[in-house]
Structure formats: C-alpha cells, structure tokens
A and B are shown apart, each in its own frame.
Chain A
Amino acid sequence: MNIAKLKETWFGNVRGDVLAGIVVALALIPEAIAFSIIAGVDPMVGLYASFCIAVVIAFVGGRPGMISAATGAMALLMVTLVADHGLQYLLAATILTGVLQILFGVFKLATVMKFVPRSVMVGFVNALAILIFMAQIQHFEGEGLLMYSLVALTLAIIYIFPKLTKIIPSTLVAIIVVTVMAIYFGFDIRSVGDLGNLSSELPVFLLPDIPLTFETLAIIFPYSLSLAVVGLLESLLTANIVDDMTDTESDKNKESRGQGIANIVSGFFGGMAGCAMIGQSVINVKSGGNGRLSALVAGVFLMFLIIVLGGLVVQIPMAALAGVMIMVSISTFDWSSVKNLHKIPRTDAAVMVITVVTVVVTHDLSIGVLAGVLLSAIFFAAKISKVTVTQIVAVKGKKKVYKVDGQIFFASVNDLVAKFNFNEGIEEVEIDLTNAHLWDDSAIGALDKIESKFEQNHVKVEYVGLNAESKSLKKKIGGLSKASGH
C-alpha cells in the first residue's frame, strides 16, 4: 500500500478521530463490563478484550471508522462454556475463533453473507436485543424499589441528557450520577465489585492454561465456530452500515481477517472474543470519527481510564449498568420490523419470528441464524416450485399439447407428474417446455416417468422447446436412463 493512502486512512481526520475515539472509549467501558458479567467472567476480561480488539483492528481492519470490542452477541454465546469449563477454555476458544475467522477471510467467505437473508439478519438483531434485555432481569432479583428507581433514573438521564448537549455521552453522565449517589448516600445495592475483580493492570501475554488434547478441541470447537460465524455476521453487517453512513467502500475480506487477528491477540492477552459493534460504530461516525485513528484512540483511552480509575469503576452500581444495557437492547432492536410486520411478505415475517423464537429458546444466536436460513430456503423452494400445466387439444381425440410453466426440480416434480392425464385414449402428446427450466436429475427423472407412463398407454410423446441449459442437462442425465430403459 502506498504511503499517501496509508497516511490518509490514519491521519486524514485527526481531530475528529481523536474526539470520537474518546467518546467511544467512555461509552465502551460500561458495555465491556456488562458484557463480561453476561458471559460470567471478571470485568477485566471484557475490558482487556475491548482494548486489544479495538487497538488491533485499528491496524488490520478493513473498515476504518468501525469500532470492534467485546460484544453482547459474543458474550451470550460463551455463557455455557464459561459456566461448565471456566475462563481458560474461553481464552482458548477465543484464539480458535480468531483462527477460523482468518480462514474465512483467506477463503473469501465474506461473500457467503449474501446467503443469509435479510429477514434472518433482522431476526438476529432483534433476538440479540431480547437476550441482552433478559440477561438484565437477574440483577433485579431480590432487589427492592431502590434498584428499580435507580434503573429508571439511569434511563431517564440517558434519554433526556442529549437534549442539553451531545458532546458528553449520556450513558457516562448517567453512570457517574448514579454512582456518586450510591457512594454519597451509601445505598445498600450490588456494585460491579460484588460480581468480579477489577485490577488496574495492563494485560499480559499468557498461553491459556488448558491441556492441549483432542478432548479440549472437541469442547471448544463448537463454541469457536458459533463465535466465528456470529462475529463475522455482525461485523460485516456493521461494516455495511458504516459504508452507508460514510458513503465509502470497505474491504470485507480484509475485515474478516482483521477480526480473526484481533480475536487471537485478545485470547492471548486474557480477553474474550469480540466483534464489531453497530451501536458504538454509529456513535463513532456521528461524533466525527471515520479513520483508523478513532479505533486506536478508543482502545488506548479505555485502558488508560481503567488503570487510572479502576478503584472507582468497581463502585458502579449494577443498577446503572442494567440501565445502560436496557438502553443498548432498545437501540439494538429493529423497531421498524415490528411496525412493518403486517406489510412484509408473510414468509419473511415468519422467518424473522422463527429466528427470534429459536434464539430466545436456545439462547444461541448461531442456531437461530441456521434455523432462519433453513426455513427461508424451504420457503423459497416452496415458492418457486409452483408449476402450471395448461392443456390444449390440437387434434381432437388424437393429439394433445401440454404447456409447462415453471421451475422443474426435486421440490416440484411430484406436482408436475400429477398434472398429466395418462388415460385419455389419444395417440400423440406434445409437451412444450419453452417456459420451463430443468434443474436436476429429479427433473429429468420426472420427464422420463411421464414419457414411460404415456408409452404404457401407447401414446407417443414429444418434448419441444427445451432451453439450451435444460437440453444439455437432459442429454447428460436423460441419455443414460433412456439408453438402459430401451
């Protein structure tokens, strides 16, 4: 890459990038802590991850201006791994996730994204929002009115403060106000410190403390695969959103590779797997960040704050964090999809709802995406498998013409065969396939079946109007079965 371009992506917008990076760092801290708590690990794991991923992505990412760090989608996928096997397995799974993502990038699998239908993506973000919200409910258990009122206060500040000024992130103001109140009045409520340790230290390079056996791999691989897929899905979606917001292009395969490298580094430095964040990236661009420098500043400033203010961070009440997370879930949810649910095609609505329900039931975003993709494939097959056959009598009592319209493949052949009348006592049948397309050996099989059924009744069959592609398919497959049949 030439120096001028490199300079442009790094230093083309220094002022905007530095300011936006600081804003993002402030908004990242509560989220990184809350996502660690969702995953069931110490807050440091999420903070180290956010630091490592943001900094590494600044150098190797494909979409300047996009913010990557510890995310809710990823945290939700690792809950059972952490609960059953502990932190060290999570670190190993994070490294493996990175390796898989690099492979996806190398083999240019970013383009596979297009096989994930839009309705599945909408279901994905909605399910993510619901899961983040549900993860907050546990913090209310056994708490009194104080908890509810502090959460309400947090939310009120978050939504009303931007009317006064948008320079300071309102989530930060809310957290400071609620924390100061909790310390000043000595509220008896749970704080971040009650849920995990927070040390004011820089992350250090460590190998995960796990046995390097096949058994370990068998444990972490399914988690890593889910993490890799979900991470890329969210990252590439975010990249598209940033592309649109900044009206520029980005390299999706480089981004996949970058996400992989970032996760590997995160895993070795004691962080959990992460990916791009839609909310933070939007904040970054809105605050004027669009270069690589913004992600670097975000990561470094976040670590700086934790080292300086670590002692204060542990005193943040869970009520404030739960409030921030409820805001995150509200802004993640795609409300327009609910508003327009009755307007979009019913199959698309069904795919969206099924994706959401699957995720909420299984607590696994990757299973939801898989279910959504499969369901849309089935709906698609059902939709295009409608075949119409029109009959025209050419010579009365002697010859009949059947006109076939539609896609002939495994899902539509049963319908097709049933539409012919084999016992009419005529001599000749012409089957016009001008408006039909043969797709697979089921299609050829069906044509053979029709032909032999007519021939059993001594009706001569002629196929006409095959398009070139269908013809070559019929020649390739049909030739074989015919030759053996006669």
Chain B
Amino acid sequence: MYKKVLLAADGSDHSIRAASHAAKVAKIDQGKIDIVYAVDGKTSKEDVLHGLDKYQVKKERKEKLKPIIDVIEAADLECETHFVHGEPGPSIVDFANNNDYDCVVVGSRGLNKVQTMILGSVSHKIAKRVHCPVLIVK
C-alpha cells in the first residue's frame, strides 16, 4: 500500500514529529522513505555566506536532517535524502508529482491565521497540489 513514502522535512521540530508519523505509515508495508529538503533563495544566501565552501554547505544541510534520519532508522526503515532548490511549496509539489509516491507526509508549523496569511502555508500547498494521499502532521 505505502511502499514509497515522501517526507518533506527541514530539520525543525515539527518535521521531526512528521518523521515519526512517516515511519509509522511506511512500517505498514516495510516501505522506503525519501526525505526531501527544499532550499529556498534566502536559505541559499545564508548558508553560502556562513559556510566555508559548497561541500561544507552540503554537509551542514545533511547534518540538519540527522534527527529525521535517526527517527526513520530507529524504525528499521530504508531512507534516502534529496535536496531541491526553490520555493518550498512548489518545488516539493513538483518533486512529489514527478516521482510517483504512494503517500506524502509533511509537518505543519502550526501558524495562526495572520501568520499563515503573511508566511503562507507549505503544507496547504502540498495538500492541494500533490496527486497522491497527503498526511499533514500537526
């Protein structure tokens, strides 16, 4: 049923929470979890400015996802990390729709109405535009 699960994550607390739920979903069929981390322009700028070189930048991003990978490996599941570049919403949607997943899991930042209006909700965009079932973890 859920052989290929996509987990959208950025290393934040809500994405770690989402990881544990992704693990539960994938566990049903002992499926594989792909982690996707969207790097937007602002993050690119900050990371390049603070990182020593591009290898360092890549390493630091991987380290950010370490707690997520830990959660998945603790559940004895296979996982792979992908990085996409661009606005988190659309780039994750594209990645999900181009790669035929059985389920997409994403954490919700838990913003209030005003914050959502200003910051926009990545999880809403994903829920609306991804073609497969989407699990939003609150």
Chain A interface residues toward B at CB < 8 A? 114, 118, 121-122, 125, 163, 237, 240-241, 243-247, 278, 282, 285-286, 334, 336-337
Contact = CB atoms under 8 A, between A and B. Distances in A.
A334 B44 contact: no
Interface stretch (B7-15, B47-55, B95-103, B128-136): B47-55
B50, B53, B86 interface centre (most CB from chain A within 10 Å): B50
Given A243-B54, A247-B85, A286-B86, A237 B49 contact: yes
Interface in B44-68: 44-54, 57
A334 B46 contact: yes
Counting contact residues on chain B (CB < 8 A from A), the size range is: 20 to 34
A122 B44 CA distance: 14
B118 A163 contact: yes
B79 interface: no
A240 B53 CA distance: 9
A244 B47 contact: yes
Contacts of A114: 53
Given A163-B120, A245-B41, 5 more contacts: A121-B49, A163-B117, A245-B85, A278-B45, A334-B49
Given A245-B41, A282-B41, A286-B86, A122 B50 contact: yes
Contacts of B50: 118, 122, 336-337
Given A240-B54, A245-B85, A286-B41, A122 B49 contact: yes
14 contacts: A114-B53, A118-B49, A118-B51, A121-B49, A122-B49, A237-B49, A240-B54, A241-B44, A241-B49, A244-B39, A244-B54, A244-B85, A245-B85, A278-B45
B56 to A, nearest CB: 10
A121 B118 CA distance: 30
A241 B51 contact: no
Contacts of B39: 244-245
Nearest to A247: B85
Given A163-B117, A282-B41, A286-B87, A244 B57 contact: yes
Is chain A's binding surface mostly helix, strand, loop or mixed? Answer: helix
B54 to A, nearest CB: 7
Q: Which 4 A/B pairs are nearest by Cβ-Cβ distance?
A: A282-B41, A244-B44, A245-B44, A241-B48
Contacts of B46: 334, 336
Interface string B13-37: 0000000000000000000000000
A17 to B, nearest CB: 16
A471 B57 CA distance: 38
Contact of B48 (A237, A247, A337): A237
Contacts of A237: 48-49
Nearest to B56: A118
Contacts of A122: 49-50
Contacts of A285: 41
Nearest to A246: B85
B69 to A, nearest CB: 21
Interface in B107-138: 117-118, 120
B121 to A, nearest CB: 12
Contacts of B49: 118, 121-122, 125, 237, 241, 334
A303 B6 CA distance: 46
A255 to B, nearest CB: 15
A355 B57 CA distance: 23
A114 B54 CA distance: 12
B86 to A, nearest CB: 7
Contacts of A121: 49
A125 B49 CA distance: 9
A241 B41 CA distance: 8
Nearest to B84: A247
Given A163-B117, A163-B118, A282-B41, A240 B48 contact: yes
A337 B45 CA distance: 12
A234 to B, nearest CB: 12
A355 B118 CA distance: 34
A334 B46 CA distance: 7
Contacts of A163: 117-118, 120
Nearest to B87: A286
Contacts of B45: 241, 278, 282
A286 B46 CA distance: 16
A380 to B, nearest CB: 14
B52 to A, nearest CB: 7
Contacts of B117: 163
Nearest to A249: B54
B48 A244 contact: yes
Contacts of B83: 247
A368 to B, nearest CB: 16
Contacts of A125: 49
Kindly name the residue among A121, A241, A285 whose own CB sees the greatest number of chain B CB atoms within 10 A. Answer: A241
Nearest to A334: B49
Nearest to A241: B48
B10 to A, nearest CB: 15
Nearest to A279: B45
B58 to A, nearest CB: 9
Contacts of A334: 46, 49
A474 B46 CA distance: 45
A346 B44 CA distance: 25
A186 to B, nearest CB: 35
A163 B51 CA distance: 31
Nearest to B45: A241
Contacts of A286: 41, 86-87
Contacts of A241: 44-45, 48-49
A337 B54 CA distance: 19
